[in-house]
Every structure is written in structure tokens, then in C-alpha cells.
Amino acid sequence: MVKAIEAQGIPAVHICTIVPISQTVGANRILPGVAIPYPTGNPYLTRNEEVAMRKKMLLTALKALSENIDSQTIFD
Amino acid sequence: MNKIKYVHYLNQFYGQIGGEDKADQTPFIVPNSVGPGKEIEKLLGDEGEIVATIICGDTYYGDNLQEATDTIIGLLKGLDFDCFIAGPAFNAGRYGMACGSISEAVYKNFNKPAVTSMYHENPGSEIFNKEIYILKSGKSAVSMRKDIDKLVNFSKRLVRDEYIGFPDEEEYIPQGRRINVQMEKTGAVRAVDMLIKKIKGMDFETELPMPVFDRVRPAKGLETISKCTIALVTSGGIVPQGNPDKIESANASKFGKYNIDNVNDFIENEYITVHGGYDPVYALKDPDRVLPLDALKQLELDGFIGKVFKYFYSTVGNTTAVSSAKRFGEEIGQDLRNNNVDGVILTST
Amino acid sequence: MKLEVGRVKIKDAQFSEKTYIEDNVLYINKTELRKYLMEDENIQDVNFEIAKPGESVRIVPVKDIVQPIYKVSGPGQVFPGWLSDVETVGEGVTNLLDGCAVVTCGKMVNFQEGIIDMSGPGSEFNSFSKSINFVPLITPIPGLEKHPHEESVRVAGLKTAYYLARASKDVKPDEVEVFNYDPINESSNLYPQLPRVVYVYMIQSQGLMHDNYVYGLDAKGILPTLISPTEVIDGIIVSGNCAAPCHKNATIHHINNPVIYDLMRRHGKEVNFVGVIITNEHAMLAFKKRGAFFTNKLARLIGAEGAIITEEGGGNPETDLMLNCKLLEKSNIKTVLVTDEYAGRDGRSQGLADVTIEADAVVTNGNGNMLLNLPAMEKVIGHIESVETITGGFSGSIHEDGSISVELASIMGSLCELGYERLTTKLK
């Protein structure tokens, strides 16, 4: 889906755990998720810690959307 | 038995009106067989006849794809025919494109069997192979006799609705569909057979060639992200309680679009996950773990982004076919453009 | 390790006052069996049905299928870690009730449960339509949570399989096969000219409803390890997996693992079967990588020249499959992958979620998205309404006349990626 959206000129970042699949299918902006059942979560943290972690992840995601890239890039 | 009524498509050369000098000929129809069509009728004997031949210049067709197709469809309206054949086009690229294009159009418009023939490297064979049959021909007219023989026999079987086998044995361009077939040996035995061959350096055939995924050119990066509208999309199946659009837990046939104008956080029980492919326990407790609305709304408040788009989109990625996902992406992308959304964060499980 | 497998063919099954086998008919005392299963306090009630090949019967929702097996002699007992101690099995004599299977059914635990049709077009897609299926229908105590519900049903299936097969204790098997798994240095000396083949056995381990157990241990926590093929026949791998019914490995698939059987039958003749490496399919990328590196190293250490790799499930496990393939091929170990596809209803979609260029030898067990229209059956064992919620079903699946439209994904074991059935996909 991410590819089809980016193809229309809207930058899209894919947060996913299984990065190799996203790479193979061809997403351009990839951000590794935490784990399959909770890509933007972590049940082992307290709620506040979790939200803070999410914000940090999203800031990286925003960075991914702001960059001009010319090929597949994994943002860590 | 009734004679099968054929319509035959030919380019300017085989239609015997000229060479390159007539390549811009507009399409016209004659009520009889022409050129190779005469040979076709001989082969058909009592079983069939060519009731009309459409002749069109290759350059005209190539430069005016839509008009040429429309004109020819118009010429055929009201005509009583049972089958449409085009070519053979051999390795002539423009001719192959025309044959493929018009065969597909006739099939779609009149729901009559349509078949053409061309060399497997002809560009037309990659584009129009999906809905109609493209028989494999030789590279040049040297094999004309053999190729029209195949065309005649195959077309008769299509008209009679007979079973058509697999591309290798029947010598047509694969239509790109994976079909389930029962074998004599189990998958396990076939695997051991294949491994023994591979280790010994013998020839073997894989049952599933690796696909090649196309690449998309990256969009331009967002310049002033603090002024941008960002949308959230997920394949993790986050939906409002009750799953109002009944999105399936696997092989989703649709996506949902949900208003989050007044929602700042996905709360347990107000939003759920319907994705059947992962342990839902964590997402049910806090759906933000799959779609981070709370954090994004906070970033909006803090001024890192302009706005969170007031809708989010959700579907389920569990066993959903790649072609469906592509379609969802295209529709969602279109909707986002119409709403001036600048960027997308998409989460998957 | 030497295991003698005795097949006692079962031609019919009936309820009776005593449980015994005579003239290839299995007689079952359901009162005694019910008492045994109800020792589990989480089970409120158990009923039993018998479904025979050719009958107009649909069984749904099916949770697990278990091969009745019983160890007649040798260390340990079948299903170690569940019904017996964790002693190493795979030696001695084990009896198997051939043509008979235990099919657990009852109130749905989770929506990835499947269908078995005993006749009609649906029956062509798995071997279970050709076996005499003994179906315990299990009702949990009210309010029982998913986890313990699943475990109760799982264990009840194992108990039933053991209980039924125990009746063959003094019965002379109709067919006997003897399998020898030699220590690796011995087999090298015995068969120096035969290609050394290892079986890389991937089992799913991703959390609730997607778990498997080895000697009772949750496979989530294992590092890839070497086991004897004969251990698998004695039921060391138990399925707690409710992934899509078409391609999750039910316990019976593990016990009757066709890759193991074929390699063992060809051992010493066409191949030198050096062993089985079991590995898991974890939900986190780091674990997938760790597993793949470990498997590769083990395969190299035992001197494998070729490897068969079977997958379980689909989607992210395809990454494990491709990682295993890539690493082994780079170590010059030739691989054959055994998988299935989701190629869309029209068969035009890319069927795998992950690919790698080294995967040039693949066996596919079919496309799970194929749409089937199955006629109504005279009798339904279980709950027909579950068809709309299970994988491969959808709202509108059940028609007024009782016929159903479902994807092949809903038929138990139809695409089993151990290569259990005979389906493949061809390009048309």
C-alpha cells in the first residue's frame, strides 16, 4: 500500500517489524517496528514510557517523510 | 453443425493494400477473407468461414489506440459473428500491439472468443495476454502455414467451449494466473525428488519462480513538516468497536475510513483489532501500539506537524493478496490527494 | 536410534461397552473416555461423534487433528511432556492406527479453525476425508479464557489419540516399517557416496494461537537444535497453532511428517539422511535472524550438502524461510523450499510475502485464495455458523440452502507445507 501511495507523490513511511519483506516489496521509506503484535508499542514499559517511546519513533518517521531520497532507505 | 463465423483482423500489409506507405490507413471492413484469411478458410473447410476482415494500418493503430479500437468496435456492432482472430503478427511490434489490443477489446465488448498469434518476444504478448489467448507463433512469416493451422484449431476449440490446457502443452503465452492442480506425488516426495536432482547438478523445474517486485520513484520529501497534514494508515486491522464495515480478519476485501477529528487516543474497547494473524492481546489493551494516534496528536500539539488528518484508514494485511493491497493503496492515495494530505505514516504488523 | 512403526489398519469404528480392536474395527467405550477427558476441570462436557469417508458430513470448526499412536515398547511414551514424562522417545516399537484420526471440535477457541468435508468437492482437498474421524466435541466451563480453553482442547486431543491407540497394544500390526537413524559418523562410513541431506523443520512460534511445543516446551524459546526423525513420529511436536487452517501443521501432520518419512525411506538408498534441525518462526526480526544463523551453522557442522526446508503458515514466516535459504545456499548447501501461496482469487497476485533470488527450487502446495462452492451436507458435526468467521470464510459464506462459499484457506490442511497433500499451483 505504501508504494501505491508514494507513487502518487505523497511521501509515505512504512513502520513494520519484518523489514526484509518491506524491502523486497519495495517501500522507499522504512522504519523498523518494535515487534509484530505491537509495532509502535512496548507492553513491558509503563504507559508514560510507552507514549514517550512512540513519540520518539514518530519523530524519526517525520524525518523519513522530510528527506529527499533516491532509493530505499531504512530509518533507524 | 453451423459454420463458425469468423472476423479476421489484418494490418495493411497482410490486408494487401500496401506496405509502409499505407501504414497510416484508417480501419475499414470488407465482407470476405483477405490474404492469409483465404488460407484460413481453406483449413476451416465446412466448419467455418470468414464473414468479415478488418484492415488497419499499423502506424494509425499505434498512434490512435483509442479511436482505432472504438472505430473497429463500431464496425462490428450488429454483425453476426462467433469468433475473432487477429494476425499472426510474428515479431512485428506495432502489428502485435494492434492484434492484442483489438482482440481484447472485442472480447470485452462482445463477449465472443478472441484469439491472436505472435512471437513470444513481441511486446504485445506482455500486455494483452491476460484476458485473451495469444498463441506463440514463429518469428517471421516463414512459419505462416503452421501458425494459422494452430490458430484455426485453437479457435474452434474456444468456440466449442472445450477445455484449454496449460501454456506449455498448448503453446500460448501464459495469462498470469496460478491455478491449483492435483498431482500424483505428494509435495514432500516432489521436494525430495527436486533436491536429489539439484544436488546431482541435473535439470529441475521450480514450481514457484521468484517474483520480481517493481520499484516506485520516491516522492519529494516534505519541506516544512511543521505545516504539513499527516495521515495515519494501517494494515494491522485497527477499527472502531463493532467493526462497522465488517473488515475481514484475513484476505481483506476492503479498507475502512474513520473520523478521528475529536479523538486524541485509541482507547481500549472503543477501538479494537480484527487482524487474525497476530496475538491481539497487546493491541486490544492499547490500539496505539499498532497505530500511534496518541503520540501523533501530541506531536501536533507540540507543533512538530501542522495537523493530523481527520480520517485514518485501516485494513487487514493477513493473507491479503498483493494485488488487493495495491488497489487499496491507490484508492487511499487518491483520497489523500483530494484532501491535500502531505505525508503518510503506515504501520504494519 | 531404531524405531519400528506398526500400522494397525482401522476399517471401521463403533461405540461399545469396551475399548478394543478386533478384525480391524475399533470399538470405543465412550463413557470411559469421557471420564478420562473430564479429569480436566476446565472441561464442562464432552460428546463424541464418528465421521466416516463418503458420508455427507461436514466437521467445523476443527481445532487440531491427532494421529492415534501408542508406544508398545522402548523408552518413554508418546506425546512426552504432556501425557508422560519428558524422556527421549524415538526408539522401540510404536503402533499407529492407520486410517483413523482424532479431530477435536466444539465451541470455537479462535477464528483460525477449519473445515473437513467427508464427501463432495471439499473432500478432495485433504486426506482427512479418507480417514475414520473420531470427533470429541469439547465444551469448556463458562467464562473460560482463550489460553486455557485452547490448552484443554489440545490436551484432550492427545489423550484421546493415546487412549484409542492403546487398544492396539496386543494387536498384530498389518504393516511394519523399521527406521534407523544412525549417529552421523556411522552413517558417513556406511554411505560415503550418498548426498548428505538435512531436513530444516520450521515450526511456528508467534504467540497466542500460533504456538508449537517440543517435549512440552514452548517453541518460542528454543534455539535451533538437532533431533532424530524417529522422535517426531512419537509425537514430540504438538500443535497449539490456530494459524490459517489450510497451512498450519496439525499435530497429525507432525507425527506423520511426509518429508521425514520419505527421507527415511530413501535413507541408505538415494540419500544419507543426516538429521532434522528444528527451528522456529518468531515474531521479532532479531530472533528470526538468530535462528537462521544458528540453523546454518548447525547444518554446516553436521556436514549437510542439501537441505529441505518446510515452512509453517505464511506472511512473516516467509522471511524466516528466505533467510534460511539464503544462508544455507551461501554455505554451498543446496536447498529446496516447501511452501504455499496466497495468489489472490484470480491467481494473479504475487503469492509470497518475501522472496530471495537464491530460492530457485521451490515446491508449492497450492493457492489458498481459490474460491470453493461446497454443497450442503446432511449432517454438520460442530457449529455451521462458525464458517462465516473462520479464515477463508466471510459474511455471506453460508447460503440459505446450506451450501457454503469459502476460500480453500478454510479447509484443514489443504495446503500443508510439509507436502502432506498432492496439490500444486501451475501458471496458466
Comparing alpha-carbon positions, the chain A residue that sits nearest to B276 is A37
In a domain, B208, yes or no: no
Residues 6+ apart with CB under 8 A from C260: C199, C229, C232, C233, C276
**Taking CB atoms and an 8 Å cutoff, what residues of chain A touch B235?**
1
Q: Give the mean model confidence (pLDDT) for residues B42-49.
A: 94
Query: What does the block give as the cell for B217?
Result: 520513484
C105 assigned to active site: no
> What is the pLDDT, as a whole number, of residue A63?
93
**Co-location of B253 and B336 in the same domain:** yes
Q: Which chains touch A (3 or more CB pairs under 8 A)?
A: B, C
**Co-location of B155 and B233 in the same domain:** no
Predicted-complex ipTM score: 0.96
B322 CB near a chain A CB, below 8 Å? yes
**Co-location of B265 and B166 in the same domain:** no
**C-alpha distances in Å from residue C217, one per residue of C204, C222, C294:** 13, 8, 19
> What is the pLDDT, as a whole number, of residue A46?
92
Comparing alpha-carbon positions, the chain C residue that sits nearest to A22 is C354
Number of domains in chain B: 2
The DSSP string of C35-50 is HHHTTSTTEEEEEEEE
Q: Sorting pLDDT into bands at 50, 70 and 90, what band is A76?
A: confident
The single-letter code of the amino acid at C373 is N
In a domain, B274, yes or no: yes
Q: Which of B131, B154, B170 is the last residue of a domain?
A: B170
**Co-location of B159 and B296 in the same domain:** no
Q: What is the mean pLDDT of chain B?
A: 92
> What is the pLDDT, as a whole number, of residue C296?
97
Domain assignments of chain A as residue spans, ordered by start: 2-74
In a domain, B96, yes or no: yes
**Taking CB atoms and an 8 Å cutoff, what residues of chain A touch B290?**
37-41
> What is the pLDDT, as a whole number, of residue B323?
66
The DSSP string of B63-132 is HTHHHHHHHHHHHHTT---SEEEE---TT-HHHHHHHHHHHHHHHHHH---EEEEE-TTSTHHHHSTTTS
Tens-place pLDDT, residues C193-225 = 999 999 999 999 988 678 999 999 999 989 999
**Co-location of B238 and B163 in the same domain:** no
Which of A21, A35, A36 minimises the CB distance to C353?
A: A21
Q: Which of B170, B199, B214 is the last residue of a domain?
A: B170
Which range marks the domain in which residue B97 is found? Answer: 4-170
Whether residues C285 and A21 touch (CB distance < 8 A) is answered with no
**Co-location of B69 and B166 in the same domain:** yes
**Taking CB atoms and an 8 Å cutoff, what residues of chain A touch C288?**
18
Which of A2, A36, A38 should one mutate to test binding to chain C, selecting the residue with the greatest count of C CBs within 10 A? Answer: A36
Comparing alpha-carbon positions, the chain A residue that sits nearest to B315 is A1
In a domain, C426, yes or no: no
Comparing alpha-carbon positions, the chain A residue that sits nearest to B341 is A10
Residue identified by cell 500390526 is C173
Tens-place pLDDT, residues C299-342 = 999 999 999 999 998 888 999 999 999 999 999 999 999 999 99
In a domain, C416, yes or no: no
Tens-place pLDDT, residues B329-344 = 889 999 999 999 999 9
Number of domains in chain C: 1
Residues 6+ apart with CB under 8 A from A64: A11, A13, A29, A31, A73, A75
Give the distance from residue B187's alpha carbon to the nearest chain C alpha carbon, in angstroms. Answer: 4
Q: What's the rounded Cα separation, in Å, for the pair A65 and A62? A: 5
**Co-location of B151 and B250 in the same domain:** no
Q: Which of B170, B200, B234 is the last residue of a domain?
A: B170
How far does chain C reach from its first CA to its final CA, in angstroms? 46
Q: What's the rounded Cα separation, in Å, for the pair C417 and C241? A: 14
In a domain, C417, yes or no: no
Per-residue pLDDT of chain C (428 residues; tens, 9 = 90+): 999 999 999 999 999 999 999 999 999 999 999 999 999 999 999 999 999 999 999 999 999 999 999 999 999 999 999 998 999 999 999 999 999 999 999 988 887 899 999 999 999 999 999 999 999 999 999 999 988 999 999 999 999 999 999 999 999 999 999 999 999 999 999 999 999 999 999 999 988 678 999 999 999 989 999 999 999 999 999 999 988 999 999 999 999 999 999 999 999 999 999 999 999 999 888 899 999 999 999 999 999 999 999 999 888 899 999 999 999 999 999 999 999 999 999 998 888 888 888 999 999 999 999 999 999 999 999 999 999 888 888 888 999 999 999 999 999 999 999 999 999 999 99
Give the distance from residue C298's alpha carbon to the nearest chain A alpha carbon, in angstroms. Answer: 23
**Co-location of B144 and B12 in the same domain:** yes
C318 CB near a chain A CB, below 8 Å? yes
Cis bond before residue B88 (omega within 30° of 0): yes
Which range marks the domain in which residue C155 is found? Answer: 2-410
Q: Which one from C242, C246, C325, C416 is the annotated catalytic residue? A: C242
Query: Within 13 Å, how many C-alpha atoms sit on residue B88's CB side?
Result: 28
**Co-location of B256 and B151 in the same domain:** no
**Co-location of B24 and B162 in the same domain:** yes
Q: What's the rounded Cα separation, in Å, for the pair C80 and B315? A: 41
